[in-house]
Amino acid sequence: MKVCLTTFVYGEAYQAYIPFLMYSCYKAYPEYDMVIFVYKSLAKNIKKQIEKLNYSNVTIIENSFSDCPQMTPRISQCLRWVLWDLSFLQYDYLYIVDIDMLYVREPKPLHEQHIEHMRITGLCFDNMRRIHKRNPFKLSSIGQRIKYAGTKAILKYLFGSRIEYRATGLHFIKVSEYYSAIPQDHLSSIRKQIYSGDWLNRVMYPNDEVFLYKILENHNLHPEKMAIQSNSCKSLDFNSYLTPEFRPHHGIHLGIFRNPVPLEERISDLKILQSDAYIYYKTIVINSYFADKEFLSILSLAPESIKNSYNRLLEYYK
């Protein structure tokens, strides 16, 4: 069984997460490969760290989407769904992940959990549905729509359905079936829609996860069969792969600790950090990763922003 993890990195600030992602994936799943797409070139200090780690199962593809005329964070998020390299075809399964994850091995390997869950859904991908309800006549909603989409499809926005579905940003796929349904020429066409901004005509809420749902829907991959997330903490349970509502992080999402807003003011994040899954992850991270010289070496070279995130993690779980 060949498995690959992949992601797209835009911005030098996010490049600093690459060594941590590489380390944690290798520590948790040395049998997996990784393909990391980077916009423009790697920063010299990041390149040195990657060379020092010297993991043979990691491929870095620089200057990805270099033909994009105007890259933005929102466009970069959408481009995750059209990542492509010919090497993907050698894998049985591919997992599109966030760059700011710190992975931890679970009792049942990540890919086995998702394969079991896909048997329940009957789909060639594993994800979850969320409902986005909007009030189109709310001034802040109109302002956000115009900010990101201009006046594209504004009448449809105002008078169309007030409910849109979205997938999540962690997307596990069965390579052979998924890329048969969404072949390379379709990926290229979708990429052009993202570049031109035409994708904003296809969604009312200008969000990459809504766009992913539309891609799945337009290719008859039946995203409506995914369970609707009703409890974000319940779906984190990595042992619940035989239940419909299943969407584990498989590790710690460092974005929670990047947010400078005090945790006591973020109830949803607090619930995640107090979940059984996160207690399991933090125990391994603190007892194993923080005891590893290689991890500490990576941390010592990280920018202050990332060091602060790890300090917040340690402070919270002390």
pLDDT confidence bin for 264, thresholds 50/70/90: confident
CB 88 within 8 A of CB 175: yes
Q: What angle do CA 144, 150, 154 make, to 5 degrees?
A: 85
Q: Is it the case that residue 146 has pLDDT exceeding 80?
A: no
Phi-psi region of 246 (alpha: psi -120 to 50; beta: other; left: phi over 0): beta
Position 215 scores a pLDDT of 97
* Token duo for residue 315: 């402070």
Position 198 scores a pLDDT of 83
Give the pLDDT mean for 59-69. Answer: 97
Q: Is it the case that residue 148 has pLDDT exceeding 70?
A: no
Q: What is the 3-state secondary structure (H, E, C) of 177-243?
A: HHHHHCCHHHHHHHHHHHHHCHHHHCCCCCCHHHHHHHHHHHCCCCHHHCCECCCCCHHHCCCCCCC
Position 259 scores a pLDDT of 85
Q: Which residues contact 169 (CB under 8 A, 6 or more apart)?
A: 77, 80, 96, 98, 208, 209
Position 318 scores a pLDDT of 86
Position 278 scores a pLDDT of 98
CB 171 within 8 A of CB 127: yes
Position 294 scores a pLDDT of 97
Count of CA atoms in the C-beta half-sphere (13 A) of 238: 22
Domains of the chain: 3-317 (3.90.550)
CB 211 within 8 A of CB 202: yes
Position 155 scores a pLDDT of 63
Question: With pLDDT > 70 as the criterion, what percentage of the chain qualifies?
Answer: 91
Mean pLDDT for the chain overall:
93
Q: Is it the case that residue 203 has pLDDT exceeding 80?
A: no
Q: H-helix or E-strand containing 55?
A: none
pTM here is 0.92
Handedness of CA 134, 138, 144, 150 (dihedral sign): positive
Give the pLDDT mean for 16-24. Answer: 98
Handedness of CA 9, 37, 184, 110 (dihedral sign): negative
Give the pLDDT mean for 234-252. Answer: 96
Which of residues 85 and 157 earns the better pLDDT score? 85
pLDDT confidence bin for 133, thresholds 50/70/90: confident
